[in-house]
Amino acid sequence: MTTHEAHLQPDACYLAMKARDARFDGRFFTGVTTTGIYCRPVCRVRLPKRENCRFFGHAAQAESAGFRPCLRCRPELAPQSLAWSIQDAGSILAQQAARLLEEPDAWSESPSVESLAARMGVSDRHLRRIFEAQFGVSPLQYLQTRRLLTAKQLLADTDLPITEVALASGYASVRRFNAAFVGHYGLNPTQLRRVGGRGSSGTQVRLGYRPPYDIASMLGFLATRRIEGMEYVDEAAGELGRTLAIESAGAQHSGWMTARFDPETTQVVLGVSDGLRGVLPQAIRRVRALLDLDADPQAINSVLHARFPNGDGLRVPGAVSGYELAVRAVLGQQITVAAARTLAQRLVDRFGEPIETPSPHLRRLFPAPAVMAAATGDELGQLGIVRQRQAAIVAIARAVAEKRIALHGGADVQATVAALKELPGIGDWTAQYIAMRALRWPDAFPAGDIALQKALGVTGAKNPAREAEAASQAWKPWRSYAVLRAWHGA
């Protein structure tokens, strides 16, 4: 039995499936032996008999067992589920490998088991062994499922040509893509085409999440930090938008996106402009990170609810660009949110590249790493940025531009935090904040944060940071969420 299967209780899964409980969406999938189809717990088809159901912890397990994805509930729309609570070395290595496979920004070309093992610093054989023990499938099967489900979503929700779908999904040629699709699903890719996928914001796709989700708090957090001309937040409409630039295979893709919450379906409707269609999987992944759509509230609340009972729906806001988040974190060192927003606004107005969009709210891109790497102290000083932060911004920009540091969800957290702290002007608070929001690390903890120390009631202690760190041990591995709940409660 794999680690993912060990926590599944078949009778409980069947009850969740019977209730179509969205809290379990993505936490398991049901293979129906009489149809050969696997579904999400929220699927609206007629409930199969209990004896005809097999339960799997991941879509790749269901597909490896010979089941095909349901065309109605569409497993590719389900939020992801990774078991962060397991702390032995093998499971941590497997989880990190899965994070890398799920992160398009981590690869300049299509990943392989060999390149993944090299990135992890282990042998191919060892990687396969620990990965299969954790997930019940090989890394290649896991990767194959990710590629096919990505392609399935692009086929169903967009009008991208088949060639672009194949390349965006990680296939080197249309021939290989067609062969994999037909061999795996018994369908020709064109049979999954649907009419639609286009709207006023360009290509539209839907992204699932698990309730509860405090939408108002997420939008409020982003609204207080928004940069005019680059971002907007419409709290009443449950929508946000922003400009975005994504580099892929040496090419720059620029455009804008909108994201609107649809609470009735527990989904986010994502609109992406034509300029970003070529990197749609990366854009989807970044928006999922920005809005923390893959969080598992049930697992998090089982650890944090007793101490923070009013934060069950809170999510940790992420970032569409780890580099951008790091620069904005530096600007926010030891000043108020409003003051940091003012400095970020000046930075974008001075260095951000203009972009044409249909929205008057979206006019500029965040300054590129190469631009900020070349910025002078005089130029930054004129914006009111003090010397120490000038050095930190330039150092981060150079490290990212030269690819010495990667700031995304697939990065090695401990190594990246250590590398950040070696840069001038980057201390533990900034590194932990970047880990929490840019690296998507659920256990980050900026113990030196004054607001956090006040919320925890340790400011009067001889060593407040040490007291905060000690108090936080009970909240592992979800300390990032504990930080947000403490801030929110304060």
DSSP string covering 311-328: -TT------S-HHHHHHH
Whether the predicted pLDDT of 9 surpasses 80: yes
Specify the 3-state DSSP secondary structure of 103: coil
Residues 377, 387 contacting (CB under 8 angstroms): yes
State residue 315's pLDDT score: 97
Whether the predicted pLDDT of 490 surpasses 80: no
For the chain, which residues make up each domain, given as ranges? 3-77, 89-157+160-192, 198-278, 322-441, 442-490
State residue 111's pLDDT score: 84
What is the amino acid identity at position 188? N
Catalytic residue among 294, 296, 443, 449: 449
Give the separation between CA 22 and CA 412, rounded to whole angstroms. Answer: 31
CATH topology of domain 198-278: TATA-Binding Protein (3.30.310)
Residue 308: closest CA among 471, 448, 463, 431: 471
Residues 429, 417 contacting (CB under 8 angstroms): no
Give the distance, in angstroms, between the CA of residue 374 and the centroid of all CA atoms in the same chain.
30
Specify the 3-state DSSP secondary structure of 6: helix
The dotted CATH code for 3-77 is 3.40.10.10
State residue 358's pLDDT score: 93
pLDDT confidence of 273, banded at 50, 70, 90? Answer: very high
Active site residue 449: yes
Whether the predicted pLDDT of 132 surpasses 60: yes
State residue 76's pLDDT score: 94
Please give the average per-residue pLDDT across 261-274, as a whole number: 96
pLDDT confidence of 81, banded at 50, 70, 90? Answer: confident
pLDDT higher for 420 or 278? Answer: 420
Give the distance, in angstroms, between the CA of residue 454 and the centroid of all CA atoms in the same chain.
29
State residue 1's pLDDT score: 45
Please give the average per-residue pLDDT across 392-402, as a whole number: 98
Q: Is 353 exposed, middle or buried (0-12, 13-18, 19+ CB in 10 A)?
A: middle
Q: Which of 122-126, 146-150, 198-202, 467-471 has the lowest mean pLDDT?
A: 198-202
Query: Do the domains 198-278 and 3-77 match in fold?
Result: no
Q: Phi first, then psi: what are they for 204, rounded to 5°?
A: -120, 135
pLDDT higher for 215 or 99? Answer: 215
pLDDT confidence of 248, banded at 50, 70, 90? Answer: confident
| H or E element at residue 150 | helix 139-157
Catalytic residue among 13, 25, 39, 294: 39
What tokens appear for 209 in the block?
A: 């999440």
Q: Which of 183-187, 424-428, 442-446 has the lowest mean pLDDT?
A: 183-187
State residue 84's pLDDT score: 61
pLDDT higher for 85 or 335? Answer: 335
The dotted CATH code for 89-157+160-192 is 1.10.10.60
State residue 199's pLDDT score: 54
Domain 322-441 CATH (choose: 3.30.470.20, 3.60.20.30, 3.40.1280.10, 1.10.340.30): 1.10.340.30
Whether the predicted pLDDT of 297 surpasses 50: yes
* Model pLDDT for residues 444-457, shown as the tens digit of each residue: 999 999 989 999 99
Mean pLDDT of the chain: 92
State residue 125's pLDDT score: 93
Say which residues have a Cβ less than 8 Å from residue 57's Cβ, sequence separation at least 6: 2, 4, 5, 7, 8, 27, 28, 29, 81, 135, 136
* Model pLDDT for residues 110-131, shown as the tens digit of each residue: 788 899 999 888 999 999 999 9
State residue 83's pLDDT score: 61
Active site residue 53: no
